[in-house]
Amino acid sequence: MSAVAVDAAPRPQRGGAPPRRRGLLVTLNVASALAGLGLWWLWSATADNVPTPVEVARRMGELFGDGTLTDDILASLQRVLAGFALGTAVAIPVGFLMGWYAVARAVFEPWVQFFRTVPPLALIPLVVVLMGIGETPKIFVIFVAAFLSCVIATFQGVVDVDRTLLNAARVLGAPTRVIFARVVVPASTPYILVGMRVGLGSAWGTLVAAELVAAQQGLGYRMQNAQIYVDRPTIFAALICIGVLGLIMDRLLLLVERRATAWQERR
């Protein structure tokens, strides 16, 4: 009797929302995009200095056709990925050290909090003086933006680990390294991935200003160059490319987050 009751009990669903709900969300996404496009069209119809979506699409086709926009996208992607990857690679171990060891927290936290109050864009004049006008200062500024977002999230993830889990692992005789690897790291993973998503947004937000520093290619450079010639469709085209690339990369990180935290209870 009890076995039948257990078998008949509803099992928790995996794989996210049910199909009907996913279909509704996709429909809302499409409707939102179309509404935004309609507002843009209305804006361009009531303002003389705003290009229409057709004009921007035509300009994007021209820039893709001669390879200009493709080269700019590749140059910007290389800078963002390099700065973001370096910032994340440094932030995660530093965040773990700060959260797990009080001595490391005392050493690193004042510097992290200090630089958090300094906008990465404010560092551009300094890094240009110290590093020149090559690729290094551009990547460094993006690195700082990604690092600061991810290190705080990682640190907070370690600090917020449920003490009951830590105490239970100690009572069961688990050594410190096992507790860290089997309890702290999994519990901190959601925080780390959220920090990476925020850091990715900061990296793209810093990119345009970083590419104003003597760049010859890149979406930020293309926008600056278009501003000089009052080429509004090109400015809109570069903005759209940045937004689309950032959205795609964020969705990829969100997919990784769902796979890595599938053990969590979801609403």
Condensed to tens digits (0 to 9), the pLDDT of residues 162-173 reads: 888 888 888 888
Q: Is the pLDDT of residue 9 over 60?
A: no
Q: Is the pLDDT of residue 264 over 80?
A: no
Return the pLDDT at 177: 86
Range in 50-59, 136-145, 186-195, 214-223 with the lowest mean pLDDT: 214-223
Q: What local confidence, expressed as pLDDT, does residue 16 receive?
A: 53
Q: Which CATH homologous superfamily contains domain 63-260?
A: MetI-like (1.10.3720.10)
Burial of 104 (0-12, 13-18, 19+ CB in 10 A): middle
150: nearest Cα among 80, 198, 216: 198
pLDDT score of 151 more than 80: yes
pLDDT digits (tens, 9 = 90+) for 29-73: 888 888 988 998 898 888 888 898 999 999 999 999 988 899 999
pLDDT bin (cut points 50, 70, 90) of residue 6 is: very low
pLDDT tens for each residue of 102-118 = 898 999 989 988 888 88
The 8-class DSSP code of residue 58 comes to H
Please check whether residue 177 is in contact with residue 242, taking contact to mean a CB–CB distance below 8 angstroms. no
- What pLDDT score was predicted for residue 27? 86
Burial class for 80, CB neighbours closer than 10 Å (0-12, 13-18, 19+): buried
pLDDT in the model for residue 10: 45
pLDDT value at 8 more than 50: no
Min mean pLDDT across 23-27, 188-192, 241-245 is at 23-27
224 — pLDDT class (breaks 50, 70, 90): confident
CA trace torsion 260, 262, 263, 267 (10° rounding):
130
Sequence spans of domains, the chain: 63-260
